[in-house]
Amino acid sequence: MLLLISPINIDEAQEAINGGADIVDVKNPKEGSLGANFPWVIENIRETTPKDMLVSATLGDVPYKPGTVSLAAYGALTAGADYIKVGLYGTKNYDEALEVMENVVKAVKNKNPKAIVVAAGYADAHRVGAVNPFEIPKIARDSGADLAMLDTAVKDGKTLFDFLDINDLTKFVKKTNDYGLKSALAGSIKKNQLKELHDIGCDVVGVRGAACTGGDRNEGHIVSEAVKELKDLLLSFD
């Protein structure tokens, strides 16, 4: 299982790299669960990150505006991201989410066929009116994306496990893998929850708070020691 760490700036990115993260995921918590950062931040982090390490960029908790979102995807790709993550926040159903993702995939893959596109839904979608989380694997497959992901939309201390139990998550991962895609899970994941996610075959786990001082995704900052502890723990499962 790969460890995705979400820094907000170049200093945090360096901590993530030093700690052994597999994917450096540029985001901006001030703008939401999957808040988008600035293109120059993506550029700076890509320049600092080893060439053999993936740099991810979140496009935000996006609205149902396929043109706007596909342009944002193109911008993130141009800024150096090779892993483009779309939070399907404003899409209320399969059809709307598919339209957004199809256009993102077209924008990204026409420019760089090797780039990775992630369709991200929310375990607590019912709290914000977003598309059903169990539709995400099919949306990812039908749009031509590479990964199906779940996070939480509202960051209020609740975790992924407060909305979906391990049986639900197992079904999500299996459905995603049956489609020939990779799965990713996030949502205020705690260190003691990693083993369960590993054991159900999750491909990527996304973390910010657990890698920050005080375990606080907003007020804390990522430190390499915490990242290394998480990475070593994942390696111990294999």
Q: What is the DSSP string of 213-229?
A: GGG-TTTS-B-HHHHHH
Where do the structural domains in the chain lie, given as residue ranges?
Answer: 2-237
pLDDT in tens, 167-225: 999 999 999 999 999 999 999 999 999 999 999 999 999 999 899 998 877 778 999 99
- Average pLDDT rounded to a whole number, residues 152-172: 95
List the beta strands (DSSP E) in 80-191. Answer: 83-87, 116-122, 147-151, 182-185
Read off φ and ψ for residue 65, nearest 5 degrees: -140, 85
Quick one: pLDDT at residue 156? 87
Q: Is the pLDDT of residue 136 over 80?
A: yes
This prediction's pTM: 0.95
Quickly tell me which residue has 């975790």 as its tokens. 159
The pLDDT tens digits for 113-122 are 999 999 999 9
How many Cα atoms within 13 Å fall on the side-chain side of residue 165?
A: 1
Task: Give the helix/strand (H/E) hosting 23.
Answer: strand 23-26
User: Residue with structure tokens 């950062």?
Assistant: 37
Query: Both tokens of residue 39?
Result: 């293109």
Amino acid at 92: K
* Residues labelled as active-site residues: 27, 85
- Dump pLDDT digits (tens) for 37-72: 999 999 999 999 999 999 999 999 999 999 999 999
Q: Which CATH superfamily is domain 2-237 in?
A: Aldolase class I (3.20.20.70)
The whole-angstrom separation of Cα 104 and Cα 164 is: 27
CB atoms within 10 A of CB 104: 30
In the three-class reduction of DSSP (H, G, I as helix; E, B as strand; rest coil), residue 213 is classed as helix
Residue in the block written with tokens 């995400």? 136
Tell me how crowded residue 131 is: count the other CB atoms within 10 A of its CB. Answer: 25
Rounded to whole angstroms, the Cα distance separating 79 from 69 reads: 15
pLDDT for 222: 97
- Contacting residues for 173 by C-beta, under 8 A, at least 6 apart: 183, 185, 200, 201, 202
Give whole-number Cα distances, 120 to 88, 112, 140, 222, 237, in Å.
Answer: 6, 20, 9, 23, 26
Mean pLDDT for all residues in the chain: 96
Query: Where are the alpha helices (H) located in 112-223, listed in sequence order?
Result: 136-143, 166-178, 194-199
CA distance 80 to 67: 20
The stretch 81-93 carries a mean pLDDT of 97
Residues 6+ apart with CB under 8 A from 76: 36, 39, 42, 57, 59, 84
